[in-house]
A and B are shown apart, each in its own frame.
Chain A
Amino acid sequence: KNQVEQSPQSLIILEGKNCTLQCNYTVSPFSNLRWYKQDTGRGPVSLTIMTFSENTKSNGRYTATLDADTKQSSLHITASQLSDSASYICVVSGGSASKIIFGSGTRLSIRP
């Protein structure tokens, strides 16, 4: 069964600290993996998109990694800011029917 699992479910860190969010998937065959940021009351916004051959991709203070062998991805946030408080959603495309599968998200709260 094609699944995307994210951890932790929620996370609270102090402003300025770093954090790492995890995404494990069982989707096969794999097409690509995306990380979205969703602020409260708004639609998701794309942070990164990674294909099979890409191991690391950065977008400012956000760095995503992908290990296609272990089917794991992480999103690392450096020097967190209050504006990073949001839900982060991992989305994997693939599967025999070319599905788009969403993880349940990690709720990140940055405290001053």
Chain B
Amino acid sequence: DAGVIQSPRHEVTEMGQEVTLRCKPISGHDYLFWYRQTMMRGLELLIYFNNNVPIDDSGMPEDRFSAKMPNASFSTLKIQPSEPRDSAVYFCASSFYTARETQYFGPGTRLLVL
């Protein structure tokens, strides 16, 4: 298996633009997580899905952020409109069986909002 795949790897955009981050989890994994990492706040869990259903979105910072998982092999995290404070590395991770099992992280998307 190729592991968790994320795209794009880097994204530079201007404030106010819509940003869409994509993730393909490891095949067969039931859980998918979206994280944000910054120097100031470390790793933060934004939202996670179980069998394509959002379970906990309490980490989503505000209404500008939305996440979907239309099928077991694809998820998106959208920011609209983007702001400079959204600049961070966004990781997608997946795990098998339960949310407490080992999570396998993707390489991340480095987002810079100017």
Contacts and interface: CB of A to CB of B under 8 A. Distances in A.
Given A43-B108, A102-B43, A104-B42, A32 B103 contact: no
A55 B113 CA distance: 45
Contacts of B88: none
Interface residues of B, number: 18
Interface string B92-104: 0100000111111
Nearest to B55: A98
A100 B45 contact: yes
Interface residues of A, number: 19
A43 B106 contact: yes
B54 interface: no
Contacts of B102: 34, 46, 49
B46 to A, nearest CB: 12
A42 B105 CA distance: 9
Given A89-B43, A102-B42, A43 B91 contact: yes
B108 A42 contact: yes
B9 to A, nearest CB: 10
Contacts of A104: 42
Contacts of A41: 108
Given A44-B43, A102-B44, A32 B100 contact: yes
Interface in B32-48: 42-45
Contacts of B99: 93, 98, 100
A111 B105 CA distance: 27
A22 interface: no
B90 to A, nearest CB: 10
B107 A43 contact: yes
